[in-house]
A and B are shown apart, each in its own frame.
Chain A
């Protein structure tokens, strides 16, 4: 990937507390590469996160960042997007934050279709709280909170997103940062909500879904004659797991209006844009009145 902007502009000095070897490092790198490739400068993007290991990400890069409460990055990001549609909105959180605690917001954002990209660091476990099973843990997965193996079937984010009306659904693997960066860039390019579900091994608490486990199962849809525009095909791919796991763009519907396209209140410009315009070109007499306050 030949990037236009130097990804180093996103580097930050904050001390990183991720475990050595964590897949989140690759997500961080890939996001910087994708933003650089799209020529998006740090001040033009806002990264919103929730709570969890992966949600620490905005701290580790130079960009506008907003760490929300658990499970709530999507409504916060939607609000930010409505206030300033020119901002590139990226949500980064984990499987617990998005598919568990924030599950309702996840379903709603799929059908609203705001121009927001969400990267879900899906490690199939709660890592920050030291290894409890998560919504995407496979049935039978043994953890401290599922000593006899988890009873529930795993949440299928791809199928749920598709059923709820998401217009861009992709899956990537943290062990392949180049492909991951391409998927993130494609998601940001897409007009509308884009989900990038990232298979991201937790090297400290998940000894089942390791880099090796994924490596043996993943394959690339790009290598097959797969048409991401078809819902039926996407539905079929969304249910492939265990034996073979597809990576790449699983579903993409183009040309549909975004949420903010349809908000009438934004027809006269965004709230942030109107404030900026007022500051730049005050109405007659407004500038004089303002000046008088300081004379």
Chain B
């Protein structure tokens, strides 16, 4: 699958208005994935990915941080949203953006994961699933 097709599939899955938003989702999820992989594991995954996406897995570490968890994973994804929290006029401390950003981030993870699963073989999927933080591994399997 080429890069354009990959983005189109993510855009369709996520009902994103344009490919820019799809590209942001892909970059956020893949950069988070890179945090969970060792360099050899990242290299192995890139074999099946369009070349334009390799750059996101390149920062993988010699040894991933064993305490990198689902919250940190979400942090990388939320950081690529094309939006920020509301101005200080919102009432009562509840920021509507922040309140739903976690659900939206999980949805974006699953959109990207579902397309990712179509390009990875069974062994690669298994490797990725076991490297991800436990909760994220469940999102991957359910995608």
Contact = CB atoms under 8 A, between A and B. Distances in A.
Nearest to A180: B67
A23 B79 CA distance: 11
A210 B71 contact: no
Contacts of B87: 130-131, 144
A177 B68 contact: yes
Contact of B88 (A132, A177, A204): A132
B74 to A, nearest CB: 4
A166 B115 CA distance: 51
Contacts of B101: 19-21, 203-204
Contacts of A174: 72
Given A21-B101, A212-B31, A203 B88 contact: no
Contacts of B95: 19, 130, 204
B65 interface: yes
Interface residues of B, number: 30
B88 A129 contact: yes
A21 B84 contact: no
A22 B75 contact: yes
A160 to B, nearest CB: 28
A276 B77 CA distance: 52
18 contacts: A19-B95, A20-B105, A21-B73, A21-B79, A21-B102, A26-B72, A33-B67, A129-B88, A175-B65, A178-B66, A179-B65, A203-B75, A203-B79, A204-B98, A205-B84, A211-B76, A212-B79, A215-B59
Q: Top 5 nearest A-B pairs by Cβ distance? A: A20-B102, A21-B75, A21-B74, A177-B67, A25-B71
Given A19-B102, A21-B102, A178-B67, 9 more contacts: A26-B71, A130-B87, A178-B66, A201-B75, A203-B101, A211-B72, A211-B75, A211-B76, A215-B31
Interface of A: 19-23, 25-26, 29-30, 33, 128-132, 144, 174-179, 181, 201, 203-205, 207, 210-212, 215
Interface of B: 31, 35, 59, 65-69, 71-79, 84-88, 90, 93, 95, 97-98, 101-102, 105
